[in-house]
Amino acid sequence: YVLSGLCAAIAGIIVAADIRGADANNAGLWLELDAILAVVIGGGSLMGGRFNLLLSVVGALIIQGMNTGILLSGFPPEMNQVVKAVVVLCVLIVQSQRFISLIKGVRSRDKT
């Protein structure tokens, strides 16, 4: 419990520094999507199961790189949510059983 409380305190300080204030209503807005997307980009399944912590950190770095790239490109900040939604849709398609069976069928035809 002490370690969990310490991590929550550090995260609160980082969020407060990021938004330059303490706003309980908007402090963590959309961060849950970033967390889920980081794990999914890192190889975790949306259906549940095992995940790799190191790859989830790599996924978080990719998400942050996307956010920074969009903002530095001059696009409005709302584009972040659009891009993340497209990434979630792509991951859903790639992890679907129909897509996996389609890829297996294409690979088996290429071998013959």
- Cα–Cα distances (Å) from 42 to 8, 37, 50, in that order, read 23, 8, 11
Cα separation of 24 and 22, whole Å? 6
86 C-beta neighbours (distance < 10 Å), count: 10
Parse the chain into domains and list their residue ranges.
27-111
pLDDT digits (tens, 9 = 90+) for 71-104: 899 988 888 889 888 988 888 888 888 888 888 8
pLDDT digits (tens, 9 = 90+) for 15-59: 777 766 666 666 667 778 888 888 888 888 777 777 788 988 998
Does pLDDT of 12 surpass 70? yes
Q: Exposed (0-12), middle (13-18) or buried (19+): which is 6, by Cβ within 10 Å?
A: exposed
- Could you give the count of Cα atoms lying within 13 Å of 15 in the half-sphere of its Cβ? 16
